[in-house]
Amino acid sequence: MPTRAKILSSRTVFHGPVFDVRHDRVLEPGGIRVERDVVVHNGSVVVLPVLDDGHIILVRQYRHSVGGYLWELVAGRMEPRESPLPGAKRELLEETGYTARRWQKILDVYPTPGFVSERMVAFVARGLRAGAAQPEDDERIIVRAFSPRELDRSIRSGKLRDAKSIAGILYYLRFCVRKR
């Protein structure tokens, strides 16, 4: 049985600065003919910056799509042909001003595989050195460090609502932090 769909036809129905939308007619591996709309995205990087004292840096910014402010891990889309690690380093500097001496890849996931092609790669950044943030013109970002205990409570209570941040923080706390 084939493992990939056979594309019968494909056309871009929307082209934007952040993503495209493609309409495909396909024959899926199970033999089913379907039409699928796909949001085509270059991919994103996520950074979980850890200070020497164990606190984790989050950023707060307005998200129009949800109509409010969210606390999130540092994140952003990769530029065309940009690899994940250089993208993560760029985003950390832009949003927080920090640079890191040590990087560890922790996740490589598809956050919304039902209709979005976006691949999201998450890194832990350690050995941080503070500097001046370089946000994009449309970014108004607040930077704050949280203890792991604060983040755990925020996740449990539903105050932290950004999925990539929840996944990254829980993975980090479960698999990367040595139990004391």
pLDDT mean across residues, the chain: 95
**What pLDDT sits at residue 180?**
43
- What amino acid occupies position 177? V
Angle of helix 163-171 versus helix 148-157 axis, rounded to 10? 130
Neighbours of 40 (CB within 10 A): 14
Report how far residue 54's alpha carbon sits from residue 76's, in angstroms, rounded to the nearest whole number.
23
Number of H helices, E strands in the chain: 3, 10
pLDDT at 136 over 90: no
CA atoms within 13 A of residue 80's CA, in its CB half-sphere: 4
Report how far residue 76's alpha carbon sits from residue 42's, in angstroms, rounded to the nearest whole number.
11
Nearest to 55 by CA among 141, 1, 128: 128
Q: What is the mean pLDDT of residues 106-110?
A: 98
* Tens digits of residue pLDDT in 35-72: 999 999 999 999 999 999 999 999 999 999 999 999 99
* Tens digits of residue pLDDT in 79-90: 999 999 999 999
- What amino acid occupies position 128? L
**What pLDDT sits at residue 137?**
76
Contacts of 156 (CB under 8 A, 6+ apart): none
Domains in the chain, CATH or no CATH each: 6-41 (no CATH), 44-176 (3.90.79.10)
pLDDT at 147 over 50: yes
Report how far residue 132's alpha carbon sits from residue 130's, in angstroms, rounded to the nearest whole number.
7
